[in-house]
Amino acid sequence: MSWASWTTRGIFTGRSGVRTGEGGPVLNGELDVHTTWTEDDGLAHVTVQYSGASEWLPMAGSPVVCSDEHASRDLHERVIAAVRAGEEPLAP
């Protein structure tokens, strides 16, 4: 089983913040974003938390189908850019 994960800390959100899954809260301000991809299911799970917090929340739209580790790394980078720009990171 192959897997990979990335965490980017200290990202400031754009105006709209970041929606969390399952009708959870919208997070604004300084956030950390974490992506974990596993080869077994071919999914990238994207989570978010307030910087320094202990609880990670699933980002709305997660998990996302990713064919390989490279694609999941690209997804993580696109999510970071979207969060900073105030765009919907994982739009359907």
Give residue-wise pLDDT tens across range 45-73.
Answer: 999 999 999 999 999 999 999 999 999 99
pLDDT band (50, 70, 90) for residue 23: confident
Long-range CB contacts (< 8 A, 24+ apart) of 28-35?
31/83, 32/7, 32/8, 33/7, 33/8, 33/59, 33/76, 33/79, 33/80, 33/83, 34/5, 34/6, 34/7, 34/8, 35/5, 35/6, 35/7, 35/72, 35/75, 35/76, 35/79
Stated pTM of the model: 0.94
